[in-house]
Amino acid sequence: MKLKTPKNTSAENEVLEYPENPEQFALQVRKKLAALLLNRLHAQPVRDLGAVVSLGSWIASTREQAHITERDLAMALDLTEESIPQICSDQFLPWTMTPSRMADLMILFRLHFDAITKFLNSGGAERSNTETTSNAISTSKVKPWLSDLREELLVRNSEDLIH
C-alpha cells in the first residue's frame, strides 16, 4: 500500500496548525527527546556503571554520548540548569537526593537499581567525593533510602529497573 504525503499547497500552508503555546510544546518535545536519545543509547537498563570513577562522571559522559545539552537534561529532570554540573561533579551523594529525584534520574538514564547498589557497595560514592568522606556511608542511612528508592520505582511502574 502506498502512503501519500499531504500536498504542500499554498492554500494549505495558510491554515498550518502551529501550537497554541509554542514554548510549552517545545518543552514537551525537549523532555521526550532527552528520554528518547537516552533510551536509544541504553535500550536495556544499565546494571553496572563499569569502571567509571563516580555516578556523576557516568551521568556526564552518558549525557555527552546522547548529544544532550545540560539545559536539555535540566528540563527533562525539572531541575535548574545550575544543578546539572553539580550532579555531574558529584556534589550530591546519591542518598542525599530524595528517592523521587533519584528515581527521575534512574528512569531517564535507564539506570538499574543494581547499578546503584553495586556502586554504593563498592565505596564508589566515597571515592568520588573526598570532601564527604566524613559522611561515610552509614548503613542506617543508606538502607532505608534504598528501600524508599525501590518503592518509588515500583510506584512509577519501572519494574524493569528493579528486576
Partner 1 sequence: MFEQLFKDPTLLRRLKRGDDDAYDEWFLEITSLLHAYFRRWKVRPDQLPDLAAAVLAELWESRFKDYDPERGSPGAFVALVARRVALDHRRAEKKNEALPLDDSVDLIYEIPVPGFDDDGEDRVTRLESALKALQRRERSLLLRKFEGETTKQLSRRFRISESAVKSKLRRIVKKLQRIHQVNSGGNFDP
Tell me how far, at minimum, the Cβ of 13 lies from partner 1, in Å. 7
Tell me how far, at minimum, the Cβ of 102 lies from partner 1, in Å. 24
Tell me how far, at minimum, the Cβ of 44 lies from partner 1, in Å. 18
Q: Are the CB atoms for 62 and 38 separated by under 8 Å?
A: yes
- Three-point CA angle 95, 97, 99, nearest 5°: 85
Cβ-based nearer residue to partner 1, 11 or 51: 11
Tell me how far, at minimum, the Cβ of 17 lies from partner 1, in Å. 4
Cβ-based nearer residue to partner 1, 13 or 140: 13
Start-end of H helices in the chain = 10-14, 22-41, 55-65, 70-76, 83-88, 99-109, 113-121, 124-128, 139-155
Cβ-based nearer residue to partner 1, 71 or 127: 71
Cβ-based nearer residue to partner 1, 30 or 101: 30
Residue numbers at the binding site for partner 1 (CB under 8 A):
1, 3, 5-6, 8, 12-13, 16-19, 22-23, 25-26, 28-30, 32-33, 35-37, 40, 67, 69, 71
- The single residue listed with the C-alpha cell 494549505 is 12
CA dihedral 79, 154, 55, 142 (to 10 degrees): 110
